[in-house]
Amino acid sequence: MKVIKFGGSSLADATHFNDVIQILQMDRQRRVVVVSAPGKRNENDEKVTDLLIDYARAHGKTQRSIGQQIIDRYQEIATAFDISAAQFKPLADQILALPTTSFRGPAFRMAAFKAHGEKLNAQLLALVLNTQGLAARYVDPHELGLIATQEPNNATILAQTYTHLAVARQELLAEDKLWVVPGFFAYTTSGHLVTFSRGGSDITGAILARGLHATEYENFTDVDSIYAANPNVVANPAPITKMSYVEMRELSYAGFSVFHDEAIIPAIEGQVPICVKNTNHPSVPGTLIVPTNQSQPKRLITGVASSKRFAALYLHRYLLNREVGFTLKLLKILFRYHISYEHMPSGIDDLTIIFDRNQIPADVLPHLLADIKETLQPDRLQWIDDYAILMVVGEGMRNQVGVIDRILHPLATHHIGVQMINQGASRISIMIGVREAQADDAVRLIYNDFFNQPVSLPLRQPAQEVTHG
Ligand X SMILES: Nc1ncnc2c1ncn2[C@@H]1O[C@H](COP(=O)(O)OP(=O)(O)O)[C@@H](O)[C@H]1O
Query: Which residues of the shown chain bind ligand PHD in the complex (CB under 6 A)?
Result: 7-8, 36-37, 39, 47, 49, 117, 183-184, 198-202
Contact between 232 and ligand X per CB under 6 A: yes
Q: Out of ligand PHD, ligand X, none, which partner does residue 258 contact, by CB within 5 to 8 A per kind?
A: ligand X
Q: Out of ligand PHD, ligand X, none, which partner does residue 433 contact, by CB within 5 to 8 A per kind?
A: none
Select 12 or 212, whichever has its Cβ closest to ligand X: 12
Q: Angle 146-275-48 (CA atoms, 0-180°, nearest 5)?
A: 55
Q: Out of ligand PHD, ligand X, none, which partner does residue 447 contact, by CB within 5 to 8 A per kind?
A: none
| Residue closest to ligand X (Cβ) | 7
Assess contact for 144 and 164: CB atoms under 8 A. yes
| Residue closest to ligand PHD (Cβ) | 8
Annotated binding site for ATP: 221-222, 227
Considering only the stretches 79-87, 215-223, 317-325, 395-403, report the one whose residues sit in contact with ligand X under the rule CB under 6 A.
215-223
Select from 407, 397, 456, 405 the least CA-distant residue to 427: 397
Contact between 42 and ligand X per CB under 6 A: no
Among residues 38, 39, 266, 297, the one that binds ligand X under rule CB under 6 A: 39
CB atoms within 10 A of CB 163: 11
Rounded distance, CA 198 to CA 184, Å?
8
Shortest CB 151 distance to ligand PHD, Å: 15
Assess contact for 300 and 396: CB atoms under 8 A. yes
Q: Transcribe 114-148 into DSSP letters.
A: HHHHHHHHHHHHHHHHHHTT--EEE--HHHHT-BB
Assess contact for 423 and 429: CB atoms under 8 A. yes
Contact between 38 and ligand X per CB under 6 A: no
For CA atoms 424, 427, 428, 434, the dihedral sign is: positive
Select 36 or 400, whichever has its Cβ closest to ligand PHD: 36
Q: Out of ligand PHD, ligand X, none, which partner does residue 231 contact, by CB within 5 to 8 A per kind?
A: ligand X
Select from 69, 17, 11, 77 the least CA-distant residue to 38: 11
Which amino acid, residue 40? K
Select 237 or 433, whichever has its Cβ closest to ligand X: 237
Shortest CB 154 distance to ligand PHD, Å: 12
Annotated binding site for substrate: 151
Shortest CB 404 distance to ligand X, Å: 22
Q: Transcribe 360-372 into DSSP letters.
A: S-TTTHHHHHHHH
Select from 447, 404, 395 the least CA-distant residue to 423: 404
Contact between 230 and ligand X per CB under 6 A: yes
Contact between 258 and ligand X per CB under 6 A: yes
Select 30 or 47, whichever has its Cβ closest to ligand PHD: 47
Assess contact for 359 and 312: CB atoms under 8 A. no
Shortest CB 409 distance to ligand PHD, Å: 36
Q: Residues interacting with ligand X, by CB under 6 A?
A: 7-10, 36, 39, 199, 221-223, 226-227, 230-232, 256-258
